[in-house]
Amino acid sequence: MTALATSPSMMVERLAHAYQPNSSALSITRILFAMHLLLFPTDYSWVAQVPARFFNPPPGPFALLENPPAAGLVATLEVVRAVLSVALLIGVGTLPVSVALSAVLIVGAGLTHSFGKVDHFILYELFPVFMGFAGWGARFSFDAHAKSAGRTSGYAILLWAITVGYALFSAAVPKMLTGWLDPARQATRGYLSLDVADPVKQGILSDWMFSIKAPAFWKLVDYATVFAEGWLLFVVVAPLFFRVGVLILLGFHAGVMLTLGIDFASYLFVYSVFFFAPPRDLLRWHGVQSSQARLARTPSLRRSE
């Protein structure tokens, strides 16, 4: 039997191994993420200050709320977030703290989105729970003294890759259904036009980009945007191509920030973990190992130096 002729479970095992993160790099990411939450916390306090008539939660659990939460509850949410961030920073009970922190961030985001605010940062809020299971408390933490110290999970990173791919695919589908692929439309330029007309949110290159009149250029940008967001889900099974796709997305986000003024800097956390595999795995184009014996020696849940 060849290396490619393998069971689905073995293929998943090998994919998980290809996404296996280095424990030190992953743990440093935990520390940096906690510091980011402490130094640059999202403000929730304004939620309790806006008149109740503007409170209009989207469909979902927050729609069960009839009025905005009281100021005391919002302040409590911010205090809990800070306490959990400190616990994450030093690595105490990292897994339950990560799960709780994601829950707090999701609640905070849900409340701020209940006034018509919409953004694309849900992956940032989901990040802690996935990384908790990935083992970002494996080093540089009080938890590192536990039996599982130094161990990381490639399965969790594989699931994170699927989640990121799906989230971006869900952004590409509406574009495909609303004319972004129509050769007669310039959708990206249309969004840029709105920003130029109302410069409250504008990138430093907005005016220069808007001066470009070539229809072919703008149509290419439309196609490239849909492709960059849409294909990632389908190349999760090819880690090298997935990582190339992530690099393309980083360039895409940088372009959006420079032209539309939308800051995606926090997504550096979201994407960074895909590059923590050993160098020999970073360049692997698929999850298949050339030697089953080697796989047996390095399971997907292992000590990663």
Average pLDDT estimate for 106-111: 93
Domain match, 168 and 293 both: yes
Distance (Å, whole) CA 167 – CA 250: 15
Domain match, 226 and 104 both: no
Lowest-confidence segment of 3-12, 34-43, 131-140, 253-262 by average pLDDT = 3-12
Using one digit for the tens of pLDDT, what is the confidence trace for 56-101?
Answer: 888 888 888 888 999 999 999 999 999 999 999 999 999 999 999 9
Domain match, 97 and 190 both: no
Predicted confidence (pLDDT) at residue 40 exceeds the cutoff of 80: yes
Question: Which of 126, 149, 172 is the endpoint of a domain?
Answer: 149
Domain match, 200 and 219 both: yes
Predicted confidence (pLDDT) at residue 293 exceeds the cutoff of 60: no
pLDDT of residue 275: 95
Residues 122 and 109: beta-carbon distance below 8 Å: yes
Domain match, 90 and 218 both: no
Domain match, 183 and 305 both: yes
What Cα–Cα distance (Å) separates residue 139 from each residue in 125, 147, 163? 22, 12, 25
Using one digit for the tens of pLDDT, what is the confidence trace for 171-219?
Answer: 999 999 998 999 999 999 988 887 777 766 778 888 889 889 999 999 9
CA–CA–CA angle 98, 101, 105 (5° rounding) = 140
Beta-ladder partners of 303? 151
Domain match, 166 and 289 both: yes
Domain match, 104 and 232 both: no
Question: Which of 106, 125, 149 is the endpoint of a domain?
Answer: 149
Question: Which of 149, 167, 186 is the endpoint of a domain?
Answer: 149
Predicted confidence (pLDDT) at residue 3 exceeds the cutoff of 70: no
Phi, psi of 290 (to 5 degrees): -80, -15
Domain match, 165 and 142 both: no
What is the number of domains present in the chain? 2
Residues 29 and 152: beta-carbon distance below 8 Å: no
Which residues contact residue 115 at a Cβ distance below 8 angstroms, ignoring those fewer than 6 apart?
Answer: 47, 50, 54, 55, 56
Predicted confidence (pLDDT) at residue 281 exceeds the cutoff of 60: yes
Domain match, 118 and 163 both: no
Domain that holds residue 187: 1-20+154-305
151: DSSP letter: E
The residue assigned the tokens 């009970």 is: 93
| Token pair recorded at residue 274 | 């895909």
Domain match, 207 and 296 both: yes
Domain match, 121 and 182 both: no
